[in-house]
Structure 1
């Protein structure tokens, strides 16, 4: 089965909107695991508008599945935190400082040397590395030259074009996934995947190992409840 990692950023956003600790991020993360999620993802940003750096350290003590930390390795504070926490996986994302959400992947050709250095930095501490990339064959192929373990395909374009033509929307991802297999990279995916578009993606993208889903899953939980929602997402991933 393809693994489901729940991104709990939106839980932190809700908590921060009123101060205090309601909802309790740590408890929600524990519940996600208890309800079947195979991983917890966080994406701390410099302004700590949702996940705080303190949350990352606290989660390290409680997450029993796979802990995945996303972020921009150009931020020294982020790198130091990851090296201290030592999650199972770090996903490197080229976010801008004031960016609302991730909106593009790495140019693995232009930044190959830099990414090689960063991948080695994390590998030296036994941390698996995934690079956030657009669904472009050239970017996936070049990613292999950085030494990364996996790539995470940025799926916003798939989600945006899903209702205009499923096969056409998915085609670049199939090609990128085939290249990942060819060059020996593991494959993750994330961004705007939801209950409507996830099943087709999971069934048709070869070698997919893990999806990271936050905004849609937490939004669905408002209607269906967290436990039921996680089960619904897991059903979409059951091939």
Structure 2
């Protein structure tokens, strides 16, 4: 059967590779080598989230990965972060070097936050987001806003200028395999439908893994990209980068087949 929807892209977040490397001063494991092996195996993108404290991805990683992605024109480079912190500096510098990322994902996290745990609140955050989104557009960079699965927020995300939303999927992941799974999927399905109706593209990420990914994609329409890091790197420790990519692509295919059946 030919899918009625674009195939969901897999963007591998390599932050945790950098986290391991940073525990020593030997330069291993290599972040760029990890990204290259994932791309060679068929990943459609690479994601980084450089935090201000440099706990994992560091400035040189961002530029080295951008250079690597120039050799993979079919793949995308997605850089995440809070635009009030260091994200915009990276985007401006990359654009100035002729290596602008394909996508900037704006995430409302604090400087010392352990991990991203909520989306933007609109229209409350609109005034500060609008000029930064416009600046990204002027540099030729697509903008995705990290959002909770609240259907009523999707039109507001489009109104502020976003091209896509990335649905924050930890609540779904926590409910997967429990009696609450169906209700969570209904929330995400409604949010995705509202995003599509508003003219937004839909991405998803946070705690997606081999167990829960197919069910999510089978029930949530129009997901263009999933960004997966922690679970992917954990699987790659056992399988290797290439086989981990193949395993996740298999999950994507399974989910899309369920969605189109």
TM-score, scaled relative to structure 1 = 0.97
Partner residue, 1:225:
240
Equivalent in the alignment of 1:69 = 79
Q: How does 1:16-55 map to 2 (within 5 A)?
A: 16-55=22-61
Deviations 1:18-50, CA, capped at 9 Å, x for gaps: 122110111111111001100000000000000
C-alpha distance after superposition, 1:189-238 (max 9, x if no partner) = 00000000000111111111000000001001122222111101001111
Length, aligned pairs only: 238
1:154 correspondence with 2:163: no
Q: TM-score, normalised by structure 2?
A: 0.89
Residue matched to 1:183: 198
Structure 2 gap ranges (5+): 1-6, 95-99, 257-261
Post-superposition shift, 1:97? 1.1
The equivalences for 1:76-155 within 5 A come to 77-85=86-94, 86-155=100-169
Is 1:234 the equivalent of 2:249?
A: yes
1:108–1:115 CA contact under 8 A, matched in 2: no
Q: CA deviation at 1:141?
A: 2.1
In the alignment, the residues of structure 1 paired with residue 63 and residue 239 of structure 2 have an alpha-carbon distance, to the nearest angstrom, of: 30
**Superposition misfits of 4+ residues, deviation over 4 angstroms:** none
Partners of 1:180 and 1:186 within 8 A in 2:
yes
CA-atom RMSD in angstroms: 0.9
Find the aligned partners of 2:11 and 2:197 in 1 and give their Cα distance: 25
Residues 80 and 87 in structure 2, CA contact (< 8 A), matched pair in contact too: no
The residue aligned with 1:58 is: 64
